Amino acid sequence: MHEEPVAIESKVAALRQPAAYAGQPGPVEVIETHMSWVFLAGPMAYKLKKPVRYGRLDFRTLEARRFFCMEELRLNRQLAESVYLDVIPLRLDAGGALRIDAAGTVVDWLVMMRRLAPEFMLDRMLEELRVSAGDVRALATRLVAFYRSLPPVPIDRWQYLNRLAGEIDECERELCDPAFDLEADPVHSLCDRLRSLLKQRGDLFAARVAAGKVIEGHGDLRPEHIYLGTPPAIIDRLEFSADLRILDVVDELGFLALECERLGSPELGRLLLETYRQLTGDTAGEPLIHFYQCLRACTRAKITIWHLREARYHDSAKWPARARQYLGLAARHMQSCESALLRKPQGPMDEPTLPAAA
């Protein structure tokens, strides 16, 4: 791998300083995530991708980081045009300083965004009980317009079933890694039940493919990525893997409903799904939605427990607790899926029986 002229630690140190930015804003706030640093400077936010490789993600070269910055800009303009403004270079000037507004050698790339007020992010609003039914209906309307603009992914039923089976297998393998010290038996049971449903009721999933409901969506539709200020925006559409953006519309919406449930507002998640059904006439049944929610909860447990592989989180109690929370939600939704199937034989396009929304 080609060695870069400036170490990532030097880039981060420079971008922490107001002198690196045009107009030299006040103090710079820094947020570190699994894949990037975000620098909040005045009215703007600048995202610098880490030179890392994780599974499908590979940001180790300057060329790759520029490409995925451009992809992030392209993909997020559709849902957050007012937020995603440009991709700009970080340069090393003649005096050896790292700046974003100077001539010199390009040493990295940043996504430049409009800074969003944190009090209008959906996760915070849910935690503070400030989300109304009108907010949820407006969000559902925005998402329906987005999904209607997307063509179906050219995939057949066997490819789709194999994708889901592969996700189940990966969750089982990762969550049962002894290094994470999670109880393996419940994970094996959940994954066996998911696989059994895939095998016995493959018609449910084949019908979704046939109906054109498998699209290239957002890919990471969580409350912390939804801004309910003016204008509203849905940010952080997953840029590094088109494969991870391919999913059923109600899988993605079910995931957002699951996150609302985790944050203490299950009724708002149900309202989201019911509003989507009313706006579209989509007849995805309750067993299918609960299946997706079980699988997404397992996936989030897997991603959550991966934090323990980072040195700074190695002894953290937060991430194992969060993973167990997700596994509890997975078990609940699997039970709901199986109960719904027992209540009434459902064909692939039966009317849903979602719980009444508040």
How far is the C-alpha of 80 from the C-alpha of 146, rounded, in Å? 11
The closest alpha carbon to 14, from 117, 97, 80, 111, belongs to 97
CB 333 within 8 A of CB 293: yes
List phi, psi (to 5°) of 108: -170, 180
Indicate whether 43 pLDDT > 80.
yes
CB 101 within 8 A of CB 70: no
**What mean pLDDT comes out for the span 142-146?**
98
**What mean pLDDT comes out for the span 97-112?**
94
How far is the C-alpha of 326 from the C-alpha of 320, rounded, in Å? 10
Third-level CATH fold of 122-343: Aminoglycoside 3'-phosphotransferase; Chain: A, domain 2 (3.90.1200)
How far is the C-alpha of 160 from the C-alpha of 268, rounded, in Å? 29
**What mean pLDDT comes out for the span 333-351?**
73
Residues contacting residue 266 through CB under 8 Å, at least 6 positions apart: 257, 260
How far is the C-alpha of 302 from the C-alpha of 253, rounded, in Å? 20
Q: Which two tokens stand for residue 191?
A: 């994954």
Q: What's the pLDDT at 258?
A: 98
**What mean pLDDT comes out for the span 192-221?**
97
Indicate whether 78 pLDDT > 60.
yes
How far is the C-alpha of 257 from the C-alpha of 236, rounded, in Å? 18
Domain ranges of the chain: 8-115, 122-343
> Is pLDDT larger for residue 344 or for residue 230?
230
pTM as predicted = 0.92
Q: Which CATH number fits domain 8-115: 3.40.1130, 3.30.200, 1.10.3470, 1.10.10?
A: 3.30.200
